[in-house]
Structure 1
Amino acid sequence: MKVSVWDTYVQRKDGNIMHFDILVPNNITDEEIIINFGKLYLKSKPFETGKLTSSECNFCHVEQATDDIVKNIEKLGFHIIEMEHCN
């Protein structure tokens, strides 16, 4: 499966900036859908964050998904790769 990678940076209320990637099937191009996936992910966090808008989330590239990413996308519709200050 080919996936689009959306590079995302969100300000946390404690001052740190979260950096994570939102991966979606590459046929999903509607930014509102992708941002809503990011918001759903942020709700799972035990800390408060700032807003997630198209200013914080930008298309980066397309890549081939691993089996684990495909399974997660089949289950949730998206996959998150946590990079910085996500926990």
Structure 2
Amino acid sequence: MEVAVFDTYVKKKEGGYLHFDIIVNKATSFEHVLKYGNTYLQSKKTEGLSLSHKNCRFCHITETIPRWEVQIKQQGYYIHELEGC
């Protein structure tokens, strides 16, 4: 399965950034990518933070790995936490 990787940076209120990738099936709409990112932010209890087209950008297409594929099939996306998460 080929997946699209979206590089995401969200500025935290206390300073610094949440940096994570949103990984989805390559046919997923950008609106869904933003929805998935906002769902992730809510799960992290980050009140007042939201995702928009300004802080989420398409990065590249790649082959999936088993860990991502399982979660993408279950919930539509996989979050790869990078910094500040």
Identify unmatched segments of 5+ residues in structure 2: none
Superposed, 1:6-85 pairs within 5 Å as: 6-28=6-28, 30-48=29-47, 50-85=49-84
Contact kept? 1:10, 1:49, Cα under 8 Å: no
Could you tell me the percent identity over the aligned residues? 38
TM-score between both structures, scaled by the size of structure 1:
0.91
Residue 76 to residue 21, structure 1, CA distance change in 2 (3 Å): same
Contact kept? 1:24, 1:79, Cα under 8 Å: yes
Identify unmatched segments of 5+ residues in structure 1: none
Answer with 55-64 or 40-49: which moved more. Answer: 40-49
Answer with 12-21 or 54-63: which moved more. Answer: 12-21
CA distance in 2, matches of 1:49, 1:81: 21
Residue 65 to residue 49, structure 1, CA distance change in 2 (3 Å): farther
Instruction: Report the alpha carbon displacement of residue 49 of structure 1 after superposing the two structures with TM.
Output: 5.2
List structure 1 runs of 4+ shifted beyond 4 angstroms.
Answer: none
TM-score between both structures, scaled by the size of structure 2:
0.93
Q: Deviations over 1:9-62 (max 9, x none)?
A: 00111112111000000111x211100000001111134353310000000000
**Aligned Cα root-mean-square deviation (Å):** 1.1
